[in-house]
Chains A and B, each alone.
Chain A
Amino acid sequence: MTAKGRGWIRCPTCGLPSQIQDHHPCPRCLAPVLSRKPNSLQRTWALTLSAATLYVPANVYPIMTVIQMGHGQSKTILAGVLALVEANMWPLALIVFIASVIVPLGKIIILMYLLISIQMGVTTHLKERMILYRLMETFGHWSMVDIFLVTMLATLVKMGTLATIEPEIGVSFFGAVVVLTLFAARAFDPRLIWDSAHGHL
């Protein structure tokens, strides 16, 4: 039996279950309680689709320009990974590829799959879907690595025509993708997976 089914609400702030109505203050921490996140499906869809849209310019536009010995070269996220592969820095290439490509893309795909399965009232693979949800929660913020990396490189490598790294507009788009996926994951309510499977959506 769920808390909601029994007329209880778990306080989203402090976790105390109590028999009160939505929007009333929690008896322990005084924060207003809600049995489910408000408009979770709509908000998660909106944020996920925005992230998916911005993922295109984030990968098409360069994230930095590397000037070495007078030659300038703009690099996209994927080109940066390929450059690491060519330099035989495989472990590094793998880290950047996972953090910048697999994690944001995986997050968008997992969120869409979870949303669609909830809206179709799928009753199977409940535990597996929870594992996907937790994977997304645990690794979601690691896609920030590339943004930190570009800011560090741009700050350090400032030696004129000898060697200079400049940030490009792709970083802004990629940053927006990361922030949107983080908000999307927070807007998603995993309890809906179980509600929907039991026909209580």
Chain B
Amino acid sequence: MARITSAITLVACHDCDLLHRLPSLKEGEVACCLRCGAVLARRRSDPVVRCAALTLSALLLFVIVNFFPLLGLNLGGRETSMTLLEGALELGGHGMWDVVALVFFTSWMFPLLHFLVLLYVLFPLALGRVVPGALTMFKAAGLFSPWGMIGVYMLGVFVAIVKLADLATVIPGMAVYALGGLLVCSTAAGHALDHDAVWKQIGRTKG
């Protein structure tokens, strides 16, 4: 057991591999690598519950996003509108399935999977329970998160609104506001999550 106990105070920098003995951090304190400056550890006040709550909000907003139009366009009385999913699948009509896959996964599938997988692990954990498969699911969350690009998509929406204003009347739909709220919730959830605290609770070596 001595080896495992010592491993807990030791931390290796993820960017330069320098080994550090980590001092015990107070709430809100951050430990940085002495050599390259990378953030090694950050003590959160509430590592699990806050993230779980924010992720649930993001998931509910994601449901709303999918039932309302994102943008509408009115040109001389003719109207068109699109939802998030319609936008992702549109290029299939032009045979560009590679782009369809890219947009569908980054703007729809990966964000959704990320929320679901996180909730599956964190919600029971907030109640003090470790669900079966928690390890695999939390690993999956780490794989999905860099490929969810709702933030970039939102910038695209803003550019589209300004660009199209020249051509026709643009009608921002309900889904734009829901998507904005979702972005705030998921960003805040990302900041609230203490990965190391979760690994400690669901991992095989306790402590």
Contacts and interface: CB of A to CB of B under 8 A. Distances in A.
Interface of A: 1-4, 6, 8, 10, 13-19, 27-31, 35, 68, 84, 87, 89, 92, 95-96, 99, 126-127, 130, 133-134, 141-142, 144-149, 151-159, 162-163, 166-167, 169, 171-172, 175-176, 178-179, 182, 186, 190-191, 193-195
Contact of B203 (A14, A154, A176): A14
Contacts of B160: 149, 152-153, 156
Nearest to B156: A148
Contacts of A96: 159
Interface string B65-91: 000001111011010111000111011
- Greatest chain A CB density within 10 A among B73, B163, B196 is at B163
Nearest to A152: B160
B195 interface: yes
B71 A152 contact: yes
Contacts of A29: 135, 139, 199, 203-204
Nearest to A176: B98
Contacts of A3: 12, 17-19
Contacts of A146: 156
B63 interface: no
Contact of B162 (A89, A157, A172, A178): A89
Contact of A8 (B10, B35, B73, B82): B10
B88 A13 contact: no
A166 B70 CA distance: 19
Interface string B98-114: 11001100110000000
A116 B182 CA distance: 41
Contacts, number: 190
Contact of B12 (A10, A84, A130): A10
A17 B19 contact: yes
Interface residues of B, number: 64
B31 interface: no
A172 B99 contact: yes
Nearest to A146: B156
A1 B7 contact: no
Nearest to A142: B152
B183 interface: no
12 contacts: A14-B203, A17-B12, A127-B37, A144-B106, A144-B153, A147-B102, A153-B164, A154-B94, A156-B82, A157-B73, A157-B167, A167-B94
Contact of B86 (A1, A68, A141, A155): A155
A96 B15 CA distance: 30
A154 B99 CA distance: 12
Contacts of B87: 148, 151-152, 155
A14 B134 CA distance: 13
B101 to A, nearest CB: 9
B7 A16 contact: yes
Contact of B96 (A4, A14, A144, A172): A172
Interface in B8-26: 10-12, 14-19
Given A28-B199, A142-B155, A193 B16 contact: yes
